[in-house]
């Protein structure tokens, strides 16, 4: 993956066939390709589906971890903590009736 990213930065193109051979799983290959193209980091060459061209959004600040999806922008990170009350939590009465 590191060589692929270096090729994109240095030459404006990278070998998708080598990436797909490294990932070695069709679903993962499709997911990675969708991730990169969706962010504008690469485009698939119109003359060859095994060649990636540098996309308009790819810049030197994108490192290997972010390129591989390890770092997520803060807007995409889910808040921590349970979204619903714990099963043993007692609910407060919603009506204001006198006991």
- Give DSSP secondary structure letters for 10-58: HHSEEEHHHHHHHH--HHHHHHHHHHHHHTTSEEE-TT-TTEEEE-TT-
CA distance linking residue 62 with residue 45, whole number of Å: 21
User: What's this model's pTM, rounded to 2 decimal places?
Assistant: 0.67
Q: How many domains does the chain have?
A: 1
CATH of residue 23's domain is 1.10.10
20 falls within a domain:
yes
95 falls within a domain:
no
96 falls within a domain:
no
Write out the residue range of the structural domain in which residue 30 sits: 2-70
88 falls within a domain:
no
94 falls within a domain:
no
For the stretch 30-72, pLDDT in tens is 999 999 999 999 999 999 999 999 999 999 999 999 998 886 5
76 falls within a domain:
no
13 falls within a domain:
yes
98 is written with which tokens?
A: 């006198």
């Amino acid at each position: 993956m590191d060589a692929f990213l270096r090729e994109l930065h240095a030459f404006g193109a990278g070998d998708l066939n080598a990436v797909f051979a490294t990932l070695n799983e069709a679903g993962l290959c499709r997911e990675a390709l969708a991730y990169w193209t969706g962010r504008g980091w690469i485009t698939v060459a119109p003359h060859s589906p095994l060649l990636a061209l540098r996309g308009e959004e790819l810049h030197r600040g994108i490192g290997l971890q972010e390129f591989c999806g390890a770092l997520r922008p803060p807007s995409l990170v889910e808040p921590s903590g349970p979204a619903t009350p714990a099963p043993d939590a007692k609910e407060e009465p919603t009506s204001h009736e006198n006991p």
